[in-house]
Amino acid sequence: MSTLSLPNHLMPLLMHIEPLLVPAELYQLGETVNVSVNNSNSWVQIKTATSECSVAFNFVAVEDDCVLPTYQVRDQWLAPFDELEVLQHKVVADTSLVLCGYPADDGCIDIWHHQGQTRAIHCHHSGASEAQRAMLLVALALDYPLDDALVLARAHARSYQDNNYRAQGELIWPTTAKVFPRALTINHPEVKQLGWLGEGESVAPFADLELCKLGLYPVVDSADWVERILQLGVTTTQLRIKNPQTSDLESQIEQAVAAGAAAHAQVFINDYWALAIKHCAYGIHLGQEDLNSANLVAIQQAGLRLGISTHGYYEILRALEYQPSYIALGHIFATSTKDMPSLPQGVNRLALYQKLIGERVPTVAIGGINIERAAKVWRTGVTGVAVVSAITKAENPAAAVAELRNILVATIENEAGGACDDHQL
């Protein structure tokens, strides 16, 4: 069980917090949250199964403060306002500083610290302030990282104001795309107008992939496996070689690209974008950290498709700004094939992510998906299901591929009530 302890002066937030816990429990988005009021502390105290944090709103430190809150949230603003560039430098220098609702032209901006840099979201409507605070605290208590908690908070503030929620028991969790903010990146159409300092250069949308070939999406660690998978009739796969020092790295990429071209299949190369361009690969798959270092313009101009990994709300919004060929959603279940900085998302969070993205970009679920879990993952509406160990560690990979394809086909037929001739899995 998680705990959320409010100081006495924030008791009015209870009327907003308690209704949010109903859909959180219904959607099974995290452990049960026990809410209490603590008169002995001026900060919000949050404890989950994996972490503890404290939150203070508009906190003013004094000389004898020896312990500071984890997050100092500033959400009340009076003119004159600092330039956005100045605020970025302040947030970079102070890991605890979180700026919410900073007034900008035609909207507001939320800014926070992330690994030595600043991240931000922009919304044309700030929404209701108390609803924003409440969702921020609830999301943190549900073990969402700060990035995602801020996204949910801004979406809920907008949704609350738009819909004027008053009905008891009404589900008020934000789910529709129109209430969510946008990640402030170099590709944001108003980034220069807002004065946000971003790295890199804007990039045009990436080429579309063939949806009819996306469904079962094996991720394998060698070119030999790529060839083997394609011979089994798979039409989309990814070569993921973790060690960049692998002696035959380039030859493996060349071999995988050639195999994909011969089979008229969609073969994505993980990480090694320069080699993928050199050998005219079909596509490249990048992680979030790679978006800061890869030459996205070169990838786009070379005509390669782009897939981007995401692990929650903020990263989804960030990926959408680049208009990739698909977005990977993960990791859904615990996995041993890759060290993950985030917690498993679970099927219920996956379903909400899919609803947010809708049909804007194809999606691929990944992480710990096996034969037993494939059907319920597929039912969330994702476009593809990525598997690793379910095939590469199977006693009979051919049988595993056949069974997984049958599961996806059967699920589509059951949902549609008929055949699915437009899907090739």
Helices (H), 27-179: 84-93, 129-141, 146-163
Q: Which of 182, 240, 349, 405 is catalytic?
A: 240
CATH number at residue 217: 3.20.20.70
pLDDT digits (tens, 9 = 90+) for 291-320: 989 999 999 999 999 999 999 999 999 999
Domain count, the chain: 2
Helices (H), 105-210: 129-141, 146-163, 191-194
The mean pLDDT of 138-156, rounded to a whole number, is 98
Is the domain of 342 the same as that of 403?
yes
| 200 inside domain | no
Is the domain of 47 the same as that of 151?
yes
Q: Would residue 338 show up in a list of annotated catalytic residues for this protein?
A: yes
Is the domain of 169 the same as that of 220?
no
The count of other CB atoms within 10 Å of the CB of residue 178 is: 9
User: Cα–chain-centroid distance for residue 246?
Assistant: 30
pLDDT digits (tens, 9 = 90+) for 11-64: 999 999 999 999 999 999 999 999 999 888 889 999 999 999 999 999 877 656
Is the domain of 167 the same as that of 218?
no
Report the alpha-carbon distance of residue 416 to residue 283 in Å, rounded: 31
pLDDT digits (tens, 9 = 90+) for 92-145: 999 999 999 999 877 999 999 999 999 999 999 899 999 999 999 999 999 999
Q: Which of 96, 309, 318, 349 is catalytic?
A: 309
Q: Can you give the residue range of the structural domain that contains 380?
A: 211-416
Q: Indicate the residue among 194, 227, 259 that finishes a domain.
A: 194
Closest among 324, 342, 320 to 333, alpha carbons compared: 342
| 314 inside domain | yes
Q: Would residue 47 show up in a list of annotated catalytic residues for this protein?
A: no
| 140 inside domain | yes
Is the domain of 189 the same as that of 232?
no
What's the sign of the alpha-carbon dihedral 384, 389, 390, 394? positive
Q: Indicate the residue among 169, 194, 219 that finishes a domain.
A: 194
Q: Which of 47, 90, 278, 338 is catalytic?
A: 338
User: Can you give the pTM of this predicted structure?
Assistant: 0.94
Instruction: Name beta bridge partners: 54.
Output: 45
Q: Would residue 2 show up in a list of annotated catalytic residues for this protein?
A: no
Higher pLDDT, 421 or 404: 404
| 421 inside domain | no
